[in-house]
């Protein structure tokens, strides 16, 4: 028997009876977990979130919370909080009244409403702005009010639909830390939707990667990053270099147009067609490479200096290649120059070709 707290089983959602916006998605979510649904626009992640909230009804499949069937319940019957990208605050209500509103709808005792609202505004650091209206608050402050409103009635699960999408970069990073702090302090189960891979990597206990309504992979951020299940996941999360090849032996791959390279032990059968993935940051200049490294010559087309690293874009054997170099003299990396890069066998990840 699964110990999952929130269970999605074979969820399908079709709006026209022909195309599935969500196609047979199953996920087990543990109590207190921070799960992020990550994917491009139209991949089905928000539709999945809305089905959990009760704003969309599944075409088929099951949603259970602590063993209870949620599909049969209306949204207001589910003890689930929701935070939207648009904040959705009442403009004629102060911050405090916006936070109190869910408690009024649930007929909490008056003294408890005040205690809870004050505590939530303290939690998000806005107690001193309790009497301000949304128009008098910054975007980040409005999002904190929305977060407090979603938490004030002590929901079993908090759903967040791209809540930081309207904020600038610095404020978005600050709010990421705030949401993680609140998650850590309250221990509440959170399901978070975003198309931003950085948000997913920095905030999540696990990431569920969506594409075209289907669940491509679910795992810890580092597992999804270093061991993507397919090319889509490898390309969507971070930058990657992909090379086609064929298995020579358990520790050797013949790359098309390049030749044999050493790899970590693989279970792929001999002669199997594969893709070899190497992250740009795994490539090193020959001066800092190890004797056991594979080597590639690279003709530089572009150099982008990020301050802490340099992204070098070019080609090897007429194949595109990207390398992110750390701690190097940028004067040594110029357009038109040829450099030699090394990478260890364990730095590559082998994917099935098709």
Q: What is the pLDDT of residues 119-143, one digit of tens each?
A: 999 999 999 999 999 999 998 899 9
Q: Cβ–Cβ contacts within 10 Å for residue 195, how many?
A: 19
Between CA 285 and CA 300 the distance in angstroms is 13
**Whole-angstrom Cα distance, residue 54 to residue 58?**
9
Phi, psi of 41 (to 5 degrees): -60, 140
Q: How far is CA 201 from the centre of its chain?
A: 6
Q: State pLDDT tens for residues 236-256.
A: 999 999 999 999 988 899 999
pLDDT of residue 288: 62
Mean pLDDT on 253-264: 94
Q: Compute the radius of gyration of the chain from its Cα atoms.
A: 24
**3 pLDDT above the threshold of 90:** no
- Mean pLDDT of all residues in 305-315: 92
Q: How far apart are CA 23 and CA 19, in angstroms?
A: 9
* Six-digit token string for 319: 């194949």
Q: Please give the pLDDT value at position 1.
A: 40
Q: Indicate whether 79 pLDDT > 60.
A: yes
What number is the average pLDDT over the span 97-102?
A: 96
Two tokens, residue 295 = 């080597």
Residue 121 backbone phi and psi in degrees, to 5 = -65, -35
Query: Confidence class of residue 352 from pLDDT cuts 50, 70 and 90?
Result: confident
Q: Is residue 306 classed as helix, strand or coil in its secondary structure?
A: coil
Contact call for residues 255 and 316 (beta carbons, < 8 A) = no
**Residue position matching structure tokens 């075209």:** 212
pLDDT tens-digit readout, 196-211: 999 999 999 999 999 9
Is the pLDDT score of 2 beyond 60?
A: no
pLDDT in tens, 44-66: 999 999 999 999 999 999 999 99
Q: How far is CA 248 from CA 190, 243, 262, 273, in A?
A: 45, 15, 10, 10
User: What mean pLDDT is reported for the chain?
Assistant: 92
Q: What is the mean pLDDT of residues 27-36?
A: 98
Q: Is 31's pLDDT higher than 60?
A: yes
pLDDT value at residue 291: 67
- Residues near 114 by Cβ (< 8 Å), separated by ≥ 6? 100
Name which CATH class applies to 6-233. Answer: alpha beta
pLDDT at 266: 80
Strand order through the sheet with 6-14: 20-29, 6-14, 60-65, 68-69
For 239-352, the fitting CATH number among 3.30.420.10, 3.40.50.970, 3.40.50.300, 2.40.50.100 is: 2.40.50.100
4-11: average pLDDT? 97
Domain residue ranges in the chain: 6-233, 239-352
At residue 181, the pLDDT reads 93
The tens digit of pLDDT for each residue in 271-293 reads 889 999 999 999 999 876 566 68
């Amino acid at each position: 028997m699964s110990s999952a707290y929130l269970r999605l089983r074979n969820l399908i959602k079709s709006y026209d009876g022909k195309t599935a916006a969500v196609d047979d998605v199953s996920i087990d979510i543990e109590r207190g977990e921070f799960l992020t649904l990550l994917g491009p626009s139209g991949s089905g992640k928000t539709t999945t979130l809305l089905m959990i909230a009760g704003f969309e009804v599944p075409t088929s499949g099951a949603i259970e919370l602590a063993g209870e069937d949620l599909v049969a319940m209306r949204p207001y019957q589910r003890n689930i909080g929701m935070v939207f990208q648009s904040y959705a605050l009442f403009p004629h209500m102060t911050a405090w009244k916006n936070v109190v509103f869910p408690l009024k709808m649930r007929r909490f005792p008056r003294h408890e409403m005040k205690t809870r609202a004050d505590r939530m505004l303290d939690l998000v650091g806005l107690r001193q702005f309790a009497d301000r209206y949304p128009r008098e608050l910054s975007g980040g402050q409005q999002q904190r009010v929305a977060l407090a409103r979603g938490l004030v009635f002590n929901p079993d699960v908090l759903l967040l639909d791209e809540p930081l999408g309207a904020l600038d970069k610095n404020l978005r990073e600050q709010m990421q830390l705030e949401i993680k702090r609140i998650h850590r302090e309250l221990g509440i189960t959170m399901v978070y939707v975003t198309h931003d891979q950085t948000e997913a990597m920095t905030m999540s206990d696990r990431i569920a990667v969506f594409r075209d309504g289907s669940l491509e992979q679910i795992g810890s951020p580092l597992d999804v990053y270093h061991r993507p299940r397919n090319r889509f996941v490898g390309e969507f999360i971070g930058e990657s270099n992909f090379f086609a090849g064929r298995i020579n032996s358990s520790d050797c791959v013949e790359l098309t147009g390049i030749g044999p390279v050493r790899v970590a032990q693989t279970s792929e059968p001999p002669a199997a067609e594969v893709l070899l993935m190497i992250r740009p940051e795994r490539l090193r200049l020959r001066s800092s490479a190890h004797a056991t490294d594979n080597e590639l010559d690279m003709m530089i087309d572009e150099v982008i200096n990020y301050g802490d690293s340099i992204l070098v874009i070019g080609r090897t054997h007429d194949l595109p290649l990207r390398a992110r170099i750390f701690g190097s003299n940028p004067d040594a990396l110029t357009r038109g120059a040829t450099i030699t890069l090394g990478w260890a066998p364990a730095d590559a990840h082998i994917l099935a070709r098709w």
